[in-house]
């Protein structure tokens, strides 16, 4: 096994001093990343070393490399939160030894080493052994979007409606099908006409275009009829604040992303007092840490089954060999739909 590895390395450390947002554009990646060789990491207690084949690029990754994510950067270390590969070495611990030699989808924990490299280290507890029939294209992005979709939908009661912003995303498409199968009514919010038909076909009960001249009336009508209390939001800007204000008593605004640069203000604080409204955050890493092992197994199994059986599929718009990723990344991310993935072997 080589002692050196190639990776897309962070050029800065810590958190950025200026405010930013969790978007999906990186116009000058060379300002934040460089292609370089570093020593291959060694797994510690409870950790595993993975030979990475393919890694995903998510909005959280783009925010992280710029210092806008809630996790400090380590200068000179690889970026990248999730990918797929083979466990080739394990540190002390039973779970790691059981995974050695297995193909896994994985998420890099804060004490690990990033997925945009030939090798990555993470906690064995967040590596998912792959079922037969799950492709690398699906497995490379198995956790951040699909597991998040399944985990967040657990917050919605059976037969209830919920609001979901940025629904044209890959995550929104996953949620539409899962909501339909669970008997939950998705009120999907988009910003253009193109994805409306597809989202309805996938299972969304309603799809509302925020740029439509009748959007405000459409939203009021649907909220009045369905009375949702859960708002799953990746935007967290002024438009989201308006949605939360329009919702009824006990409405929970659950933020898991920040696509809008405008402030996520609370328009009427008295509603928090007298109408029991709330604003919360959702992070899949925290969910995994606070969820029982057996419950996680059920969720992980359901997610893999949906890919294996063809109910879900990952639309990969661009595959970037790691050697050309920095120069080609802006153009790849400029495409409106589809995932960008990095190829490492």
Domains and CATH numbers, the chain: 4-141+314-343 (3.90.180.10), 145-282 (3.40.50.720)
Contact 314, 138 (CB under 8 A): yes
Contact 14, 302 (CB under 8 A): no
pLDDT band at 232 (very low <50, low <70, confident <90, very high): very high
What does the pLDDT look like over 264-315, one tens digit per residue?
788 899 999 999 999 999 988 788 878 887 888 889 899 999 999 989 988 8
Contact 120, 80 (CB under 8 A): yes
Instruction: Report how many helices (DSSP H) and strands (DSSP E) the chain contains, helices first.
Output: 12, 15
Contact 206, 186 (CB under 8 A): yes
Query: Which residues are registered as beta bridge partners of 84?
Result: 54, 105
Burial environment of residue 306 by CB neighbours within 10 A (0 to 12, 13 to 18, 19 or more): buried
Rounded percentage of the chain residues whose pLDDT exceeds 90? 75
Distance CA 171, CA 272 (A): 29
Q: What is the pLDDT of residue 2?
A: 84
- State yes or no: pLDDT of 117 exceeds 80: yes
pLDDT band at 345 (very low <50, low <70, confident <90, very high): confident
Query: CA separation (Å) from 13 to 9, 79, 120, 265?
Result: 11, 11, 19, 29
Query: CA separation (Å) from 121 to 49, 92, 98, 111, 131?
Result: 5, 13, 16, 8, 21
- Mean pLDDT on 133-146: 92
Q: Which among 134, 160, 85 is positioned nearest to 310, based on CA atoms?
A: 134
- State yes or no: pLDDT of 319 exceeds 90: yes
For the chain, what is the mean pLDDT? 92
Which of 85-89, 109-113, 270-274: highest mean pLDDT?
Answer: 85-89
- Mean pLDDT on 317-333: 94
């Amino acid at each position: 096994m080589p002692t050196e590895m190639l990776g897309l390395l962070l050029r800065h450390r810590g958190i950025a001093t200026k405010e930013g947002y969790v978007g999906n554009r990186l116009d000058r990646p060379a300002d934040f990343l460089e292609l370089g060789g570093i020593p291959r990491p060694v797994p510690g207690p409870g950790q595993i070393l993975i030979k990475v084949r393919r890694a995903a690029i998510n909005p959280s990754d783009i925010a992280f490399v710029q210092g806008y994510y809630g996790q400090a950067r380590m200068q000179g270390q690889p970026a990248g939160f999730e990918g797929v590969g083979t466990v080739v070495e394990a540190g002390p611990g039973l779970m790691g030894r059981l995974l050695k030699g297995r193909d896994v989808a994985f998420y890099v924990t804060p004490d690990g080493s990033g997925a945009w490299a030939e090798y990555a280290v993470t906690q064995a507890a967040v590596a998912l052994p792959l079922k037969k029939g799950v492709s690398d294209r699906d497995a490379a992005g198995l956790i951040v979007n699909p597991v998040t979709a399944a985990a967040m939908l657990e917050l919605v009661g059976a037969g209830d409606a919920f609001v979901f912003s940025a629904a044209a995303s890959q995550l929104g498409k996953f949620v539409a099908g899962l909501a339909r199968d669970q008997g939950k009514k998705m009120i999907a919010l988009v910003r253009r006409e193109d994805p409306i038909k597809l989202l309805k076909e996938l299972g969304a009960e309603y799809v509302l275009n925020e740029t439509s001249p009748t959007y405000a009336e459409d939203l009021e009508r649907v909220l009045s009829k369905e009375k949702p209390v859960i708002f799953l939001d990746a935007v967290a800007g002024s438009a989201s604040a308006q949605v939360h204000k329009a919702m009824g008593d006990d409405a929970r605004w659950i933020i898991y992303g920040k696509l809008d640069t405008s402030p996520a203000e609370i328009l009427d604080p008295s509603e928090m007092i007298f109408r029991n409204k709330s604003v919360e955050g959702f992070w899949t890493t925290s969910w995994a840490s606070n969820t029982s092992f057996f419950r996680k197994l059920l969720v992980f199994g359901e997610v893999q089954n949906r890919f294996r059986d063809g109910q879900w599929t990952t639309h990969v718009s661009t595959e970037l060999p790691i050697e050309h990723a920095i120069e080609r990344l802006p153009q790849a991310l400029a495409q409106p739909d589809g995932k960008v993935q990095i190829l490492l072997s």
